[in-house]
Amino acid sequence: MRNFTQDERIDKNYKKRTILFLVCLGISFSVVLIRLFYLQVIQGEYYKEKSEKNRMRVLDIAPIRGNILDRNGYILATNSVSFELSIIPSECNPIQKVSQLISFSLGMDSDALLDKILKAKKKNPYVPVILKKNLNVEEVSRILARNTELPGILIEERSKRVYPLGNFLSHVLGYVGEVNQRELEKLSGMGYRPGDMIGRMGIERLMENLLRGRRGGVMVETDAFGRILDVVSRVLPTNGEDVYLSIDFRLQEVVESELEGIEGAIVCLEPKTGKVLALGSSPGFDPNIFVEGLSGKEWESLSKDPSRPLLNKALSGLYPMGSVFKIVVAIAALEEGITNEKEIINCTGSYQFGNRSFACWKEHGHGPVDIRRALVESCDSYFYEMGRRLGVDKIAQYAKLLGLGVESGSGFSEEKAGVVPTSDWKKKALRAPWYPGETISLAIGQGYLAITPVQVARMISGVFTGTLPKVSFVASDTQEETEEVSQLPIKRKSLEIVRDALWGVVNEPRGTGGKARVEGFDVCGKTGTAQTGSINIVEKDINRVPYHLRDHAWFAAVAPKYDPQLAVVVLVEHGGHGGSAAAPIAGRIFERYFSKE
């Protein structure tokens, strides 16, 4: 047997240890490799998702919409705190489970919710989609209690538009609604996002750019459960500006009260500036219902209501003016020199034109009348003759000069210009010639004439101030305040003759507007009774006439005569005679307005 030397024994032990070390090292590497394979391949997707959820997120900070106030600071539209639930589709996993949990917590339709999230994920998975607005505190608590089960969920504090007085001044304030897809595309680059509110009518629409403000944002780092770990940066929003209206809250209260139970419109202007002090259209609507959003059925019911509550009748309602239009014809006749204050025309109760007889409202006639008495007593026969002498196009020229048939300058998108007919207009619009007999009807404010109450208020103001400023609802206009208002190109004498006659309408025994008289304030005005169809129904008892066939009642007035401070126009739809239905309302408004001094 061979004996190993000491060196050989040492070498053998060394080899054994080396082999053992290499085996251990190999095992260690194998364990590491297996673990890496497990983590990166088998569990790779899980950890990738978890890592991605530990990410930076930009949270939107919406601005607070500006308040709308009257000229004295009374709040007409403001905001309250609201909570909004959104979800980031890319972080919502599993989608079906999350949608079911939200549905259970908030009582929402699970299928509709799932469909909404899936559509949003397909379109843009990284943009939050609003699931529900105006959450109450209990609903917020339910969602927060399950926060760890609802990845991608966001609950944000928002401001909600509120109209504290409901129907009050609704047609002037307008309303806001959620911006739709078409608007988002049209207004691309202006900062609107899904879920934002936008002005749709009235001041809310007119002053949208001032009221809406500019959004801000905050960049945060969140964990896998959406919890904020750190705020990286913040840009504060710029809240919308408050808008002060020219509206006088106290006078508006009077107007709203006078319109209760009737359909129509009332306009109160500062004659010298065109500022609207009060405006009412009846019936009205509650703007708050649009903030929550209307169902298709609710919208259809509101839009098809025969009383037209959404229509601003003062700016968009088109009506024949009736005898109020005689103011225009009188000025045109005086300016054109076809009559003067001394000429007498005999009214027998009818006016013969060709083979047709046109009746005066006073069955047995007014007898001999001059232009002043014709206005005071509203003699139709006198103005039939003036219309014949002037012709349709000359009448239209003066009507436009006095602001009829043109927009008032209010800026409201819903305002309508109306129609002051001419021979060319009829040829283009109806493809028919103008007949001389139609001028006779036009001379007393009937026929194709279609005018808004705001235009009438502007006209009556112009007669007493000699100017025609644009109508405005804003106390301090963003428009040019220094814009010079030019004088109407009408002789002073012509205006004085008409002004004096309009004083007589209200203050003389035979005047048709005596029910608007206010002692000590020299109210001057003109009544109007406008037919609603081609048939003139002669019936003293208005209650025996079907409602839709009753005449519209007008009254347009200014006070005081020599220093006009307030112009009032009252239109009562199907109210009958202007002197009995509209003039008393105007009288009460003047009385209440001047009693505040």
The pLDDT value recorded for residue 7 is 57
Decide if pLDDT at 407 tops 50: yes
Q: Above pLDDT 70, what percent of the chain?
A: 85
Place of tokens 């008495």: 373
Three-state DSSP class for residue 450: strand
Report CA-CA distances (Å) from 530 to 111, 309, 312, 325, 336.
Answer: 56, 22, 19, 10, 26
Q: Determine how many CB atoms are found less than 10 A away from the CB of residue 88.
A: 20
What is the assigned CATH class of domain 56-244? alpha beta
Structure tokens at 430: 């109806």
Q: What is the mean pLDDT of residues 120-139?
A: 81
Place of tokens 């005071």: 376
For 138-152, write each residue's pLDDT tens digit.
888 888 888 788 888
Helix axes 392-401, 326-336, angle to 10 degrees: 110
Q: What is the mean pLDDT of residues 544-549?
A: 78
Closest CA to 85 of 42, 125, 132: 132
Contact 345, 368 (CB under 8 A): yes
Decide if pLDDT at 9 tops 70: no
Rounded-to-10 torsion of CA 332, 338, 344, 350:
-70
Q: In the chain, what is the greatest distance between 2 CA atoms, to the nearest angstrom?
A: 166
The pLDDT value recorded for residue 54 is 54
The pLDDT value recorded for residue 535 is 47
Going by pLDDT thresholds of 50, 70 and 90, the confidence category of residue 203 is: very high
Structure tokens at 27: 């095992």
Determine the residue type at 457: A
Decide if pLDDT at 479 tops 50: no
Domains 56-244 and 249-285+312-595 fall in the same CATH topology = no
The pLDDT value recorded for residue 222 is 66
Place of tokens 């001059």: 370
Decide if pLDDT at 534 tops 60: no
Report CA-CA distances (Å) from 377 to 352, 471, 514.
Answer: 20, 30, 11
249-285+312-595, CATH topology level: Beta-lactamase (3.40.710)
**Least confident piece of the model among 102-111, 389-398, 521-530:** 102-111
Q: What is the DSSP string of 118-131?
A: HHHHHH-TTS-EEE
Structure tokens at 323: 């005898």
Domain ranges of the chain: 56-244, 249-285+312-595
Category of 122 on φ-ψ map: left (φ > 0), alpha (ψ -120 to 50) or beta = alpha
Decide if pLDDT at 46 tops 80: no
Going by pLDDT thresholds of 50, 70 and 90, the confidence category of residue 190 is: confident
Decide if pLDDT at 486 tops 80: no
Q: Above pLDDT 90, what percent of the chain?
A: 59
- Distance CA(380)–CA(385), nearest Å, equals 9
